[in-house]
């Protein structure tokens, strides 16, 4: 039942789910059946994932806005990230919407990132529609998933009203939904009906003074900065004189140049938009996320949004390797600083601080993936830089040292469960639960300090032959859990600069695992592989075979190397130690020692010892 000042023709919803549960695919189906595309129009898969990184990784990184029309009702849909590292995006979105679609897999049920985002939604007082997706999977266990979801709502402190959620069963890939899991669906009409009937329309008095909180920023080469948010009250108009109330509480006068609303996947310019509508506005060059756009006559600020603090930090610096400046368009500290400051305008969960030296910056984020996505984005934009090993951010509370904790869930084959328990035990992990579903796998839950997970994902892949699946979720701060000794292999280091040769690499691969093929340029102190022992070893991978006057058989002249391990940016960041760096350029990812000179490295180690 609508309230006096609710906009009955509108529904603002967010779709939240764990990574890879079919959220973006479901949005595709809703867009197609919501009349956004022509009948004969070719539509790419996962049309909402616009960034190349999103398409490659198969995850949503940045929240997207779109709108469909069902009957006389407009449904504004916000596609949110499912990964906890992008929680800053999720928290802002919750202030935009009035209800959520909670998408859960018909086999896996609620997962860690489901808990994270759902908790934010319930804290905001939002009601949910539960969508059990992929009910056509052979291992589907619909009743169990619904029970687990209900338990999760209760565990997160849902109210009685929130616990009374409707359930829709769907096959997003086929674009079908049904209210009875035993009756096949034909289209998404049951889902649309449930959204319209169960989720409340937005509230807001169009006659009241304007209040609009900016939750997302965009940029257009012609229109400049564009602020996106929901009109909480009043009406926003083209050419309207307004007041921006910034984070310091200062009142800054301004004028709105253009007003846009969402139709399908596009922004459409309109003369005005009333309370309840999600809009994009231009003309405010200095507006920032969390600030309130209010009426000039009666400016009243909306509450500022609280964003969870970062848990990891890395040093971003100017590339100082012997190959610096060859592959990147932007490589100076000034350009690096400008790009990081620009990122701060839209990435609210990020922190950037100047360091003691002018060519380095301390960048803090919500996790390794959060920072890796930023680095990869900068690399593709033509930036050249070097980054350090991630470090955990400690807090002081009442004189006690506090460290971040992760709630970890691991699915692994039974034969590898012992080694996983042993490795996490060394990393101060505490097992909370262990279940064997009966299909040859084990599901385990742990509490592990964040620093214990640094470098563990690579180790898990190695120890479980690539079969282990790990999901983690920030679980708050706990008192410091003591020193941690983690065994780590040493690195194979290039002993001289040059081009790698098959002969040189063949000698080096006897010592460990190589990261490079032949005919690649290297420099002294660059990491070319992982040593089988726990110490660093210098190897000459540029060594050539001396020619002799003696004939050799064809068998001797053709040498076959073992396949090398390709180190992606994520794996390189996980691999490096405290005295190592990752060199990032648009064309290459290299790892190196901070100190390239071997004699100086030995002196430094003696000094530390």
Q: How far is CA 437 from CA 107, 411, 573, in A?
A: 11, 10, 34
Q: Which residue has the tokens 């180790």?
A: 459
Confirm whether residue 135 is marked as ligand binding.
Answer: yes
DSSP state of 285: T
435: its two tokens:
């279940």
User: CB within 8 A of 588, min separation 6: which ones?
Assistant: 327
- For residue 218, the Cα-to-chain-centroid distance in whole angstroms is 18
| Residues paired with residue 404 on neighbouring β-strands, in sequence order | 477
**What gap in Å lies between CA 310 and CA 302, rounded to an integer?**
24
Confirm whether residue 20 is marked as ligand binding.
Answer: yes
What does the DSSP assignment read for 453-498?
Answer: HTTHHHHHHHHTTT--EEEEEEEEEEE-----------EEEESS-E
Confirm whether residue 400 is marked as ligand binding.
Answer: no
Confirm whether residue 136 is marked as ligand binding.
Answer: yes
**What gap in Å lies between CA 48 and CA 54, rounded to an integer?**
9
Q: How far is CA 55 from CA 16, 58, 61, 374, 578, in A?
A: 18, 5, 10, 16, 32
3-state secondary structure of 353: strand
Backbone angles phi, psi at 374, to 5 degrees: -65, -45
User: CB within 8 A of 125, min separation 6: which ones?
Assistant: none
Residue 275: count other Cβ atoms within 10 Å of its Cβ.
25
**What gap in Å lies between CA 106 and CA 101, rounded to an integer?**
15
Alpha helices per DSSP H over 124-210: 142-155, 160-163, 189-198
The tally of CA atoms less than 13 A away on the side-chain side of residue 318 is 15
Confirm whether residue 55 is marked as ligand binding.
Answer: no
User: CA Rg, the chain, in Å?
Assistant: 27
Alpha helices per DSSP H over 58-203: 87-93, 112-123, 142-155, 160-163, 189-198
The tally of CA atoms less than 13 A away on the side-chain side of residue 413 is 8
Q: Which residue has the tokens 């209800």?
A: 99
Confirm whether residue 60 is marked as ligand binding.
Answer: no
Confirm whether residue 198 is marked as ligand binding.
Answer: no
Confirm whether residue 133 is marked as ligand binding.
Answer: yes
Backbone angles phi, psi at 199, to 5 degrees: -90, 140
3-state secondary structure of 176: strand
β strands within 34-172, DSSP E: 64-70, 73-79, 99-105, 127-133, 167-171
3-state secondary structure of 294: strand
Q: Burial letters for 573-600: b for 16+ Cβ neighbours within 10 Å, e otherwise?
A: bbbbbebbbbbbbeeebbbbbbbbeeee
**Residues of the binding site for GTP:** 20-25, 133-136
**Residues of the binding site:** 20-25, 133-136
């Amino acid at each position: 039942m609508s309230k006096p000042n609710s906009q009955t023709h509108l529904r603002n919803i967010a779709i939240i789910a764990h990574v890879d549960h079919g959220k973006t695919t479901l949005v595709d189906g809703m867009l197609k059946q919501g009349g956004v595309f022509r009948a004969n129009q070719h539509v790419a898969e996962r049309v909402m994932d616009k960034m190349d990184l999103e398409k490659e990784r198969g995850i949503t990184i940045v929240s997207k806005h779109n709108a469909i029309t069902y009957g006389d009702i407009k449904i504004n849909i916000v596609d949110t990230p499912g990964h906890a590292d992008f929680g800053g995006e999720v928290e802002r979105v919750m202030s935009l919407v009035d209800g959520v679609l909670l998408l859960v897999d018909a086999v896996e049920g609620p997962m860690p990132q489901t808990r994270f985002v759902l908790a934010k939604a319930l804290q905001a007082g939002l009601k949910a529609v539960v969508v059990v997706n992929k009910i056509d999977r052979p291992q589907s266990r619909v009743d169990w998933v619904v029970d687990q979801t209900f338990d999760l709502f209760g565990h997160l402190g849902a109210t009685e009203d929130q616990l009374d959620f409707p359930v829709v069963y769907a096959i997003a890939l086929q674009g079908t939904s049904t209210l009875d899991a035993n009756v096949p669906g034909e289209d998404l009409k049951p889902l649309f009906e449930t959204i319209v009937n169960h989720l409340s329309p937005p509230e807001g008095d169009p006659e009241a003074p304007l209040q609009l909180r900016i939750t997302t920023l965009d940029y257009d080469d012609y229109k400049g900065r564009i602020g996106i948010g929901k009109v909480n009250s009043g009406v926003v108009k083209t050419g309207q004189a307004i007041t921006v109330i910034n984070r310091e509480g200062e009142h800054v006068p301004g004028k709105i140049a253009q007003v846009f609303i969402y139709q399908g996947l596009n922004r459409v310019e309109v003369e005005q938009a009333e309370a309840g509508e999600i809009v994009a506005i231009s003309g405010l060059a200095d507006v920032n996320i969390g600030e309130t756009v209010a009426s000039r006559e009666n400016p009243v600020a909306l509450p500022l949004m609280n964003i969870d603090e970062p848990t990891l930090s890395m040093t971003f610096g100017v590339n100082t390797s012997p190959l610096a400046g060859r592959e990147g368009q932007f490589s100076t500290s000034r350009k690096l600083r400008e790009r990081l400051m620009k990122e701060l305008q839209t990435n609210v969960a990020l922190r950037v601080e100047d360091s003691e030296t002018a060519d380095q910056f301390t960048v803090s984020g919500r996790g390794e993936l959060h920072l890796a996505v930023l680095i990869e984005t900068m690399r593709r934009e033509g930036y050249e830089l070097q980054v350090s090993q991630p470090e955990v951010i400690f807090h002081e509370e009442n004189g006690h040292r506090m460290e971040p904790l992760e709630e970890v869930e691991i699915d692994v084959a039974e034969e590898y469960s012992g080694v996983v328990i042993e490795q996490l035990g060394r990393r101060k992990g505490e097992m909370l639960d262990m279940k064997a579903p009966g299909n040859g796998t084990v599901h385990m839950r742990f509490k592990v300090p964040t620093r214990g997970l640094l470098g563990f994902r690579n180790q898990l892949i190695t120890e479980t032959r690539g079969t282990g699946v790990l999901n983690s979720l920030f679980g708050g701060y706990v008192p410091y859990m003591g020193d941690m000794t983690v065994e780590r292999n040493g690195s194979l280091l290039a002993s001289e600069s040059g081009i790698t040769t098959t002969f040189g690499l063949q000698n080096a691969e006897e010592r460990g695992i190589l990261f490079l093929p032949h005919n690649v340029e290297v420099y002294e102190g660059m990491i070319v592989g992982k040593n089988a022992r726990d110490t660093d070893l210098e190897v000459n991978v540029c060594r050539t075979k001396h020619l002799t006057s003696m004939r050799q058989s064809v068998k001797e002249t053709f040498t076959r190397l073992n396949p090398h391990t390709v180190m992606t940016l994520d794996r390189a960041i996980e691999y490096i130690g405290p005295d190592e760096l990752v060199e990032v350029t648009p064309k290459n990812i290299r790892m190196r020692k901070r100190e390239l000179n071997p004699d100086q490295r030995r002196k430094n180690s003696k000094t530390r010892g």
